[in-house]
Amino acid sequence: MSRFSKGKRLPGAEFTWDADPGGVPDTAPTPLYPAYTVPWTRKLSSKEQKEVDHYRHHRERDQEGPHYSVLDSSSSSAKKGTAARVNFDPFTGMPSYAGRYQKKRRTLPHIDPTGGPYEFIMKYFPRELWQTIQPSFRPDVDMDGYKPMAGGAGMKRGFEDDEDDGDDETKKKRANGEGDEEGDGDEEGDLLDEEEGQEEWEEENDFEDDEDEMGGDYNAEQYFDGGDDDYGDDDGGDGGGEDVL
């Protein structure tokens, strides 16, 4: 008591924070949100505004064009277990009357050499894509005296592709059959086997494509398919009910 009665300051008082209001001791934690001047962008000049307008116009044209295509349109009829099915939005995803005004997205670029705005000049595309541009084109018929190369080169190709196939299969096993297509390896085999097999392969491919196309639409058959699946769950629920009763 007596020690502090002489008007002396408390021990450690020389370190008090009152002497320097607003000062921060050396050991104080660093502020969580330090003062920070938020940078502001300049306003757009008229030139920039015009550039942006041009850019947007050009982009919009590309987006409206026949080549704009998205990967998966999520729908209720998508394959079971796929991402599209899982991400399906039950509230707004169901087709409705007003939906016909909604912007529709292609899942495949529309290649139309005659009707569309694009002009496809065949010689600028690799030969293996010619049939995509013009479905009437037959790869085994020579055009303009150009003959498809065959013979000695085929050997090399066959060897290369065998290797590829093996690779594919092993990788697929590793990926645990995650691939979206079952016939992957087989098709490749077909493609690589013989030139003559190409047509058959195309047909096969067409079939597959039909499947794909249907994937984008409402599919009544699969509607009940889904129901089958749910049945199992219902069963379990019923069982529970029985227990209660």
Partner 1 sequence: MMMSQHAVELCTLLIEDHFGELFARIFTTLQRYERLSLPRLKFYSRLTDRQLRHGLTAMIQHHLVYYFTSLEDNNTYYESNPHAAYYLVRSGKILNLVEDRLGEYAARVMEAILFLGHTSVSHLETLPELQSLTPTVPNGVANDNEELQEDEMDAEDQPGKTNGDHAPEGKPAPFHATIKALASHGYLMRVRDAHFQSPGDNLLEAQRTVSSRSDIKALKGKRQQETVASEIQELVHNRTHADLSQELMVNGLPRGIKRKFGHNFNGLENGVGEHQMTHEEIHWPEDGDGSDNTPMESGLVVRVNYEKLDVALRNARFVTLAEQDAPPATAEVYDCLLRHVEYATFRCRDTDEIPREREEGEQWTVPIDAERILGDIDPCLDLSGAFAPLESSSQSVNRGGKRPLENGVNGDHEGSDDESSGPNRVWEVNQHLQLLSQPPHNLTSCVELYGVPKWRVGFRGLARKLRHLELERMIESRYGDVAIRVIRVLHAKGKLDEKRLQEISLLPFKDLRQTLASMQSGGFVDLQEVPKDAQRQPSKTIFLWYYDPDRVCSSILEDTYKAMSRTLQRIKVERGRLKDFLEKTERSDVKGHEEEYLTEEELELLQRWKDKEALLLAEVARLDDMVAVFRDY
Work out how close the CB of 1 gets to partner 1 at its nearest, in angstroms, rounded to a whole number: 49
Handedness of CA 134, 138, 143, 148 (dihedral sign): positive
Q: Identify the residue among 85, 93, 168, 222 touching partner 1 (CB under 8 A).
A: 168
Q: Which is nearer to partner 1, 109 or 236 (CB)?
A: 109
Does 205 participate in binding partner 1 (rule CB under 8 A)? Answer: yes
Distance between CA atoms of 112 and 126, rounded to whole angstroms? 17
Residues 86-105 within binding reach of partner 1 (CB under 8 A):
92, 101-103, 105
Mask: binding to partner 1, 106-145, rule CB under 8 A, as x and -? Answer: xxxxxx-----xxxxx-xxxxxxx--xx------------
Q: Which stretch binds partner 1 (CB under 8 A): 23-31, 206-214, 224-232, 233-241?
A: 206-214
Q: Is 131 exposed, middle or buried (0-12, 13-18, 19+ CB in 10 A)?
A: middle
Does 53 bind partner 1 (CB under 8 A)? Our answer is: yes
Nearest in space to 95 (alpha carbons), one of 209, 228, 216, 229: 216
In the structure encoding, which two tokens stand for residue 116, read together? 């569309």
Please tell me whether residue 46 adopts helix, strand or coil conformation.
helix
> Binder to partner 1 among 68, 207, 218, 231 (CB under 8 A)?
68
